Amino acid sequence: MRQEVSHGLTVRPANVQDSETIFSLIAGLIDDHLPGQIPWTSVERIAADGFGADPLFEALIAERDAKPVGFVSFFRGYAGWRGKPMGIVHALYIMPEERRTGAARALMAAVAKVALERSWVRVELFVEEGRPAIRFYESIGMRDLSHRHLRLEGEALQILAMEDGTART
């Protein structure tokens, strides 16, 4: 599924040989959000998690004139109320010099095509409040559900896991 989009821009599925490229694009995404923070993952982890026997995610790479300019990673989820599979975009990143060139739109269009091919009922993602990307997502037809994105991790995850399930109010 290599797809020529326009002006030397193509979108293609990532493969294990792209693990280093994906790592470097993830590093750029992290730096956009938390300047100076080093990635919490590695090339080896990406290769194992994305391209092993039981992949945890899929990725598409956008290239301009055969040079990677961005990526999107996504995975299958389940829309319980609808009783249907759905797609969840985990990360979308376009290199700063390639922003507003159609690369992000091409990647999201490719995810939409995957969703339709697989009969996914929808595609969702989470974006931090106030990020400029919100306008882009709305421009491609995504709508803000005004849901809060909550996370349980670290010590709070461990503490809750040790409970016996008895409700405390």
Per-residue pLDDT tens digits for 75-98: 999 999 899 999 999 999 999 999
pLDDT at 169: 53
Contacts of residue 58, defined as CB under 8 A and 6 or more positions apart, other chains included, come to 13, 14, 50, 73, 74, 75, 114
pLDDT at 34 over 90: no
Per-residue pLDDT tens digits for 106-124: 999 999 999 999 999 999 9
Q: What is the CA radius of gyration of the chain?
A: 18
pTM above 0.85, yes or no: yes
* CA gap 24, 165 in Å, rounded: 41
Question: CA 75, 101, 59 angle in degrees (round to 5)?
Answer: 15
Q: What share of the chain is helix, strand, coil (3-state, %, to 5)?
A: 35, 25, 40
Question: Which CATH architecture best describes the domain 3-162?
Answer: 3-Layer(aba) Sandwich (3.40)
H/E element, 56: none
Residue in this structure with the two tokens 């670290």, named with its chain if needed: 154
With contact defined as beta carbons under 8 Å apart, do 61 and 11 qualify? yes
Q: Where are the domains of the chain?
A: 3-162
Which two structure tokens, joined as six digits, stand for 25?
A: 């694009």
